[in-house]
Structure 1
Amino acid sequence: MAPPVVIALHYQNDVLHPDGKIRVGLGAEDAARTALLDAAGRLMAGARARGWPIIHVRVAFRPDYADLQQNAPILRNVAAIGAVQEGSWGAEFFSELAPLSSRNEFSVTHQRINAFYGSPLEQLVRQFHSNRLLIAGVATHSVVESTVRHAVDCGFEVTVAADACACADAGAHRASLASMALIARICEVNQALEEAA
């Protein structure tokens, strides 16, 4: 059986760094932020140790946002706060979780809520001939859930590493995980690594 493909969503400076423009409500000294970074770090380390492919996904737009279709509040807010502009520090991957120079690691940029839509993500995933995805990222109730639903509709078997996901509202995070449990396996990083091996 082919190993799972890890999809790491939006581990970017504007999302995770204390000086980022989005920050999903996680302050520099917030215990939830520390827990998220620890879990995501364990996910990356575990996947690398097992030789699993990792696809790092980021969202980025032109500095003038001419390529941002602002048809939803979350997308209008990106432009309003000046976040994730291509070429900016904020759009770059957060250093602790950034891709390594490895034949098993890839990066994809997307511009919608669902990371598959309008991006090369599905084509890249399929080259590994695996029907299993291990997905984590920020924010749980937006890019993670949208991407998970699309993946399931494409026929992939999905596991969500819950402790490597977060959003500004803890209640929304829990509700999103509960909703995704109807279509994906929800578990902690350590369990996901052990079970998928």
Structure 2
Amino acid sequence: MTYSQKNRVEQWLEVNKDHGLPVTGFDIEKGRTALVITDPQRDFLHPDGVAWGAVGESVLENNTVANLEQLMNTAVEAGLPLFISPHYYFPTDHKWKFEGTLEKLMHAIKMFDRKGTLDVEGFEGSGADWMEEFKPAINNGNTVICGAHKVFGPENNDLVLQLRKQRIDKVILAGMSANLCVESHLRELVECGFEVTVVADASAAAKVPGLDGMLAALTNYRMIASDIWSTKQAVANINEAK
């Protein structure tokens, strides 16, 4: 993979580097640092996925799939712990009595649907499944796959528990989607005392008339996270920390 052409996030980082805000920076410390990926699933990232109409343009602009693949493979090769925080909906979840805007959309288009918590029939190749490119890194027997989060953040799954049990307190964060699950994970992890950097072009977001989730996320990442990295920076930093 080459980085000869800057993607949209790299361009934003270059244009907005003189923002005047303090940047803490983020150092990878082996034994204390992990890579966390949210929702690396087909419904977001594959052209056949049910959300592609909303996020596809952003995925292509950021080169998200290739960036996520490179990021996860680099982490695995470097021995950096990899944690996945996935999004699943089961039949009983469709009986919720109220929903926010994007919850309502996800339920309506049957995003991340599975037949049941103990039923994986039809899972392989479904919208809830991982992208094929990611399976070597995710299905290697060492990656921690957390319980499903149901809205956007990790408050109701076991991600924080799994990180704490491995004495991880520094997180490199990426995945889908930028201004929803990634940003919600960022906010909760920071509130729980984790130091977090976001790999912004290993993400993407919905673009609809008048609304651009990626731009919203980038602004908030800069104001909340210890740093924002491109995939190129993240890969270099992980390799240097070996």
> Normalization by structure 1: what TM-score?
0.88
Which residue is equivalent to 1:93?
130
Which residue is equivalent to 1:26?
56
Question: Offset at 1:97?
Answer: 1.5
Measured on the aligned residues, the alpha-carbon RMSD in Å equals 2.0
Question: Offset at 1:69?
Answer: 6.4
Which residue is equivalent to 2:231?
189
Question: Offset at 1:84?
Answer: 1.0
Question: Are 2:46 and 1:17 equivalent residues in the alignment?
Answer: yes
Question: Are 2:225 and 1:179 equivalent residues in the alignment?
Answer: no
Query: Helix, strand or coil for the counterpart of 1:49?
Result: helix
Question: Offset at 1:40?
Answer: 0.6
Amino acid across the alignment from 1:80:
A
Distance between the aligned counterparts of 1:53 and 1:38, measured in 2?
20
Find the structure with the greater CA-based Rg: 2
Q: Is the 8 A contact 1:161 1:188 kept in 2?
A: yes
Unmatched runs of 5 consecutive residues or more in structure 2: 1-28, 115-119
Change (3 A) 1:130 1:74: same
Amino acid across the alignment from 2:163:
V
Question: Offset at 1:147?
Answer: 0.6
Change (3 A) 1:135 1:69: farther
Change (3 A) 1:80 1:66: closer
Distance between the aligned counterparts of 1:50 and 1:131, measured in 2?
18
Change (3 A) 1:68 1:55: farther
Amino acid across the alignment from 1:173:
M
Change (3 A) 1:190 1:128: farther
Unmatched runs of 5 consecutive residues or more in structure 1: none
C-alpha deviations, 1:29-48, integer Å up to 9, x for none? x7426x11111111011101
Change (3 A) 1:189 1:70: farther
Query: Helix, strand or coil for the counterpart of 1:136?
Result: strand
Query: Helix, strand or coil for the counterpart of 2:188?
Result: helix
Which residue is equivalent to 2:164?
126
Distance between the aligned counterparts of 2:221 and 2:180, measured in 1?
12
Change (3 A) 1:17 1:71: same
Q: Is the 8 A contact 1:10 1:59 kept in 2?
A: yes
Q: Is the 8 A contact 1:159 1:192 kept in 2?
A: no
Question: Offset at 1:83?
Answer: 1.4
> Normalization by structure 2: what TM-score?
0.73
Paired residues in the alignment total 192
